[in-house]
Amino acid sequence: MEQFLNPYQLFLIAILAITAPFLAFILSLIFKKIAAALGILSISISLISSVILFLHLWKKQTLHYSFQWIHIGNVKIDVGILLNDLSVIMLVLISLIALLVHIYSVEYMRKEILKYRYFAYLSLFCFAMMCVVMADNFFILYAFWELVGFSSYLLIGFWFTKEKAVQANKKAMIMNRIGDIGFLIGIMIMLSQFHTLDIDALFGSGSLIDSSFVQNGLWVTPFSTMPGYWLSIAGFCFFAGAIAKSAQFPLHTWLPDAMEGPTAVSSLIHAATMVAAGVFLLLRIAPLFNDVVLVSMASIGLFTAFMAASIALTQNDIKKVLAFSTISQLGFMVLAVGVQDNAAAVFHLITHAFFKCLLFLGAGIVIHQLHHIKEKSNVDFDEQNMDNMGGLRKLMPITGIVFFIAAMALSGLPFTSGYLSKDAILVSVFEWADLRGGIFWLFPFVVSITSWLTTFYIFRVVYKVFFGKLRLEKVIAKTKEQMHIHDPNYWMTVPVIILAVFCFGVFFAYNPLNLDSSWVYHGFNLQQHNEGIYHLMVPLYINVMSLALIFLAHLIYAKKKISINFEQTWYYKLSYNQWYFNAFYDVFLMKMVLFKAQTFYWFDRNIIDGAVNFSGIFILRISKTADWFDRNIIDGLVNGSAWLVSRLGLWLRGMLSGKLQHYFIWMLILFLSFMIFKIVI
C-alpha cells in the first residue's frame, strides 16, 4: 500500500485514537444522557485511526515520537508513543472488540440508572489500554498499566451495592498491586542499570539490552554494573507484573471473582484485552529474560493452564467456567513466551481475544434473558448457574450457533482461528522439549492433556446450556413458551455475529489449515520455521482426541446416556473448590496480615507509645518523689530547725520566772559552773 500520510500525520492520528476515548470519558460524566453515543462514537474514531495506523505501519516502519517530561539528575523520563507491529495490531484488536462490546452494552445496560458511569468507565478503560500498547517507555507504560487496573476496579465494582462485587474489585486491585510492585522494582532496576526507560532504546534494534552482558557474576551495561543475579531478579519482577495482570498462578484468584462485574465488561476487560496486557508486557520486553526466568515462565504458564482447565471442568457458574478458561488460555500464552515462541503468543492472544470475547457475550445474552425471567417471575434463582439452563439452542438459535463456533475455536478444531494459534503453541512446546529433553518432556505431555481438558469443559458448557431440556421449567414452574426466551435484538446479535466471523481461520491465514500461511504469525516470527514432524503430528493427534472428547461430552451432558458419579472424590472436590486457593488466601494470608497489623498496633500502643507514656509517668513519679522529699526532708529541715529553736526558747523562757533573786541564783550557778569548767579543763 502506498504511504498516503507522513509520520507526523500518523502521530496525530495516534493521538486522536487515544484522545477520543478520553474526551468521551470526561464528556460522559457531564452529558449523562448521551454517554452511550459518545462512547460508541469515540471508539469508532479510535478504530478508524487504528486501522489507518495499521495499514501504514504494519511490517513497514516503527513510529516513535517522544517529548520531554521529567529530567532529574541522571533520570530522563519522556512521554511519547512507540508504534511497532505489536502495537498497531493490538490497537486494532482493542478498538475493534471495544467497539463491539460498546454496542452490545447499549442493550445489556439499558435498564441501569447509572449507565452513563458505565460508559464513562469503559471509555476510560479504552483510553488507558490503548495508551498501554502505545507507551514508549516503562514509566508511562506502568502509569497506564495501573490506570487500566483502576478502570477495571471501577467496572468490577459497577454494582457497588453488591457486597460480592466490591469485595471482588478490592481483591482485583490489591492482587494487581502485588504484581505492580514487582513491575515497579523492575523499572527501578532498569533505570539504575541503563539510565533510560525508553523501550525502543532498550529493546529495539541495536538495543542497550544487547550491549549488556553477564560476566564473572556481574551484569555489565554501558552505564552501570550490578551483581549478575539482578538480571534474573529484573526478569522475575516484570514477570510478577504480568502474572498479576494476566491472572497467572499464584495471583490468579482475582479473575474469577471479577466476574461479579457486568458480563460485557468481563468479556472486554477480563477476557479479551486487559488480561492480555500481561502477555503484551512480556512480549515487549522479551529480550530481557534469561534462561532461568524463561523456564520459570514456561512452568508457571503450564501449571496455570492445567490448573485452571481442571477447575473449569466442574464449575457450574457459566461465567466462572469462562473465567477459568481465560486463565488457562493466558497460561498457554505465557507458556509460549516461556518457550520463546513469541509469534505464537501474539497470535494466540489475538485469536483468543475474539473467541473468548464471543463466549462471554454469548453467555451474557443467556444471563440477560434469564435475568429478565427472574425479574418477571419473582422466583429467586441463580441466572448464571448452568443447572438452570439447557435446550436453549432451539429458543435462541443465533446465540447457540455463535457460541458453538466460539467453543470450536477455543478447542482448536480445524478451520477455526484457535486451530492455528493453539497448535502453534503446542508445536513450539514439543520442539522446545525435544531440544532440551529429559524432564522437559513433561511440558508437551501436560499441555496436551490441558488441551483436551479445554475441549471437554467448553463442550460441557455448550451441551449443558444449549442442548438437552430446559431445566429452568422445573425451577420456576413455567413452560418455555410462557418464559419468552428469544434471541436478543440487533444491538446484541450484530456484535456477536461479527465476532463469530472472526473466529474462522481464514482471517488469519490464507490456508486455514496451515500455520505457515498465517500473516499474523509470520509478522512476528522472523526466523525461518523448521518444518518438523511435529507440525504434522501434533495437530492431528490433538484434534482426533478432541473430537472424541466432544462426542463424550455430547453423550454425558446432552443425551444423558452416560452418567458418571464422581462428586465425592477428592479430585472433584479439589477442582470444584478451585484448588482451595481462595480459602488459603482469604482465610490464611489475609488473617495473617490483619493479625500482624493488629500486633503492630498493639506494639505501637503499648510498647512505643507505652514507652512515651511511661517516660511521662516516670517523670511524674520522680516529680512526686521530689515533691515528697522537698516537703518532708528539705522543708522539714528548715521547719525542724525553727521548731527546735522555738522549743529551746520556750524552755529558756520557763527559766525566767521574773523573780529577781532567781536570776541571781542563775548567775551564781553559771559563774560557778564556768569556774568549775575552767578548773576541770
Partner 1 sequence: MGILTILIFLPLVFGVVILLMPKSLTAYFKYLTVAVSLAQLIIASWLFYQFKTGVNFAGVSNLSQYQWIEKLDWIRLDVGSFGTLQIDYLLGVDGFSIGLVWLSALVMLIAALSSWEIKTNLKGYFALFLLLDTAIIGVFCSLDLFLFYIFYELMLLPLYFLIGMWGGVRREYAAIKFFLYTLFGSIFMLLVIAGLYLSVTDPTTGNHTFNMVYAMNPANYSAGFILSAAANVQILGFSARSISFIVVFIAFAIKVPVFPFHTWLPDAHVEAPTPISIILAGILLKVGGYGIIRIAYGIFPEVAVSLSFWMGLLGVISIIYGAMNALAQRDLKRLIAYSSVSHMGFVLLGIASLTAEGLNGAMMQMISHGFLSVMLFFIVGVIYNRVHDRDIYNFRGLANQMPVFTGFVMIAFFASLGLPGFSAFIAEAFTLIGAFSSQAINGLLPRWMAMVAAFGILLGAGYLLWTLQRMFFGTLRLKKEEWQSQLKDLNFREILTLTPLAVLALVLGIMPSLVFNVMSSSVNQFLMLFK
Partner 2 sequence: MIPLQHFLFISAALFSLGLFAIITRKNAIQILMGIELMINASILNIVAFGKYDKIDNTGQVFGLFIIVLAAAAVAVALVIIMNLYKRVKTIDPNQTNLLKG
> Which chain residues interact with partner 1 by CB under 8 A?
69-75, 139, 142-144, 146-147, 150, 157, 160-163, 165-167, 169-170, 173-174, 177-178, 181, 184-185, 187-189, 191-193, 224-226, 230, 593-594, 596-598, 600-601, 604, 608-609, 611-612, 616
167 or 299: CB nearest partner 1:
167
Binds 625: which of partner 1, partner 2, none (CB < 5-8 Å by kind): none
- Rounded Cα distance between 293 and 276, Å, is 19
Q: Which does 215 bind (CB under 5 to 8 A by kind): partner 1, partner 2, none?
A: none
CB-wise, 221 or 326, nearer to partner 1? 221
- 3-state secondary structure (DSSP) of residue 603: helix
Among partner 1, partner 2, none, residue 657 binds (CB under 5-8 Å by kind): partner 2
Sequence letter at residue 632: N
Residue among 95, 90, 65, 91 at smallest CA distance from 79? 65
CB burial of 606-618 (b: ≥16 within 10 Å; e: otherwise) equals eeeeeeeeeeeee
CB 354 within 8 A of CB 301: no
In the 3-class helix/strand/coil scheme, how is 203-236 assigned residue by residue? HCCCCHHHHCEEECCEEECCCCEEECHHHHHHHH
Single out the residue of 69, 490, 629, 663 in contact with partner 2 (rule: CB under 8 A): 663
**Which residue from 606, 615, 657, 673 is in contact with partner 2, where contact means CB under 8 A?**
657
Q: Which of residues 597-656 bind partner 2 (CB under 8 A)?
A: 652-653, 656
Helix extents (H) in 31-76: 35-57
Q: From the CB of 641, what's the least distance to partner 2, in Å?
A: 21
- Taking the complex as a whole, the smallest distance from the CB of residue 217 to partner 1 amounts, in Å, to 16
Degrees to nearest 5, angle at CA 541 with 539 and 544: 100
Cell of 389: 439452563
Q: How far is residue 484's CA from residue 368's CA, in Å, rounded to a whole number?
A: 13
Q: How far is the CB of 645 from partner 2 (least distance, A)?
A: 15
Nearer to partner 1, 37 or 174 (CB): 174
- Least gap, CB of 656 to partner 2 (angstroms): 4
Number of neighbours of residue 655 by Cβ within 10 angstroms? 9
* Shortest separation between residue 660's beta carbon and partner 2, angstroms: 4
Binding-site partner at residue 641 among partner 2, partner 1, none, CB < 5 to 8 Å by type: none
* Closest of 125, 167, 119, 137 to residue 65, by C-alpha: 137
Backbone angles phi, psi at 82, to 5 degrees: -130, 115
Extract the C-alpha cell encoding 47.
478504530
Nearer to partner 1, 187 or 373 (CB): 187
656, interface contact from partner 2, partner 1, none, CB < 5-8 Å by kind: partner 2
Q: Is 196 helix (H, G, I), strand (E, B) or coil?
A: coil
Report the partner that residue 167 touches, choosing among partner 1, partner 2, none (CB closer than 5 to 8 A by kind): partner 1
**What does the DSSP 8-state code read for residue 529?**
P
Binding-site partner at residue 661 among partner 2, partner 1, none, CB < 5 to 8 Å by type: partner 2
Q: Which of 593, 620, 665, 669 binds partner 2 (CB under 8 A)?
A: 665
- Give yes or no for residue 438 binding partner 2 (CB under 8 A): no
Joined together, the cell numbers standing for residue 641 give 530547725
- How far is 6 from 573, CA to CA, in rounded Å? 60
188 binds, among partner 1, partner 2, none (CB under 5 to 8 A by kind): partner 1
Q: How far is the CB of 680 from partner 2 (least distance, A)?
A: 22
Q: Is 395 helix (H, G, I), strand (E, B) or coil?
A: helix
Smallest separation (angstroms) from partner 2 to the CB of 650: 10
Least distance from C-beta 94 to partner 1, angstroms?
19
Q: 389 contacts which partner out of partner 2, partner 1, none, CB within 5 to 8 A by kind? A: none
Decide which of partner 2, partner 1, none touches 157; Cβ closer than 5 to 8 Å per partner kind: partner 1
Which of partner 1, partner 2, none sits in contact with 664, Cβ below 5 to 8 A by type?
A: partner 2
Mapped onto helix, strand or coil, the DSSP state of residue 380 is coil
Residue 666 touches which of partner 2, partner 1, none (Cβ within 5-8 Å per kind)? none
Amino acid sitting at position 602: W
416 has which bridge partners? 504
Answer whether 557's CB lies under 8 Å from 464's CB: yes
Question: Exposed e or buried b for every residue in 365-397, given b needs 16+ CB within 10 A?
Answer: bbbbbbeebbeebeeeeebbbbebbbbbbebbe
Minimum CB distance to partner 1, residue 272 (Å): 23
Between 50 and 169, whose beta carbon lies closer to partner 1? Answer: 169
Q: Specify the residue for cell string 541495536.
A: 206
Query: Rounded to the nearest whole angstrom, what is the least distance from the CB of residue 597 to partner 1 in the complex?
Result: 4
Q: How far apart are the first and last CA of the chain?
A: 139
Q: Which residues are within 8 A (CB) of 479 and not within 5 positions of it... i.e. 6 or more apart?
A: 473
Query: Least CB distance from residue 572 to partner 1, whole Å?
Result: 33
Ranges within 491-530 binding partner 2 (CB under 8 A) = none
Among 412-420, 468-476, 555-563, 657-665, the segment contacting partner 2 (CB under 8 A): 657-665
Evaluate whether 136 touches 78 at the Cβ level (below 8 Å): yes
List the single partner that 89 binds among partner 1, partner 2, none, CB under 5 to 8 Å by kind.
none
Q: Is 659 in the site for partner 2 (CB under 8 A)?
A: yes
User: How many residues make contact with partner 2 (CB under 8 A)?
Assistant: 12
Residue 181: CB partners within 8 Å, gap ≥ 6? Answer: 240
Torsion angle, CA of 583/586/592/596, rounded to 10 degrees?
A: -170
661 belongs to the binding site for partner 2 (CB under 8 A): yes
From the list partner 2, partner 1, none, partner contacted by residue 674 (C-beta under 5 to 8 A by kind): none
Q: Is 664 in the site for partner 2 (CB under 8 A)?
A: yes
Nearest to 120 by CA among 37, 24, 34: 24
**Strand, coil or helix: 509:** strand
Provide the minimum distance between the beta carbon of 189 and partner 1 in the complex, in angstroms, as a whole number: 7
Spacing of C-alpha 451 from chain mean position? 24
Q: Which is nearer to partner 1, 146 or 383 (CB)?
A: 146
Span near partner 2 by CB under 8 A; candidates 114-122, 234-242, 428-436, 663-671: 663-671
Q: 255 with 247: CB under 8 angstroms?
A: yes
Smallest distance, Å, CB 677 to partner 2? 20
Residue-by-residue DSSP string for 413-430: -TTBHHHHHHHHHHHHHH
Residue 211 site contact among partner 2, partner 1, none (CB < 5 to 8 Å, cut-off depends on kind): none
Chain position carrying cell 515462541: 341
Nearer to partner 1, 176 or 326 (CB): 176
Among 658, 678, 679, 681, binds partner 2 (CB under 8 A): 658
Q: Extract the C-alpha cell encoding 648.
A: 529551746
Nearest residue (CB) to partner 2, 474 versus 647? 647
All three cell numbers of 658: 521574773
Given the rule CB under 8 A, which residues bind partner 2? 652-653, 656-661, 663-665, 668
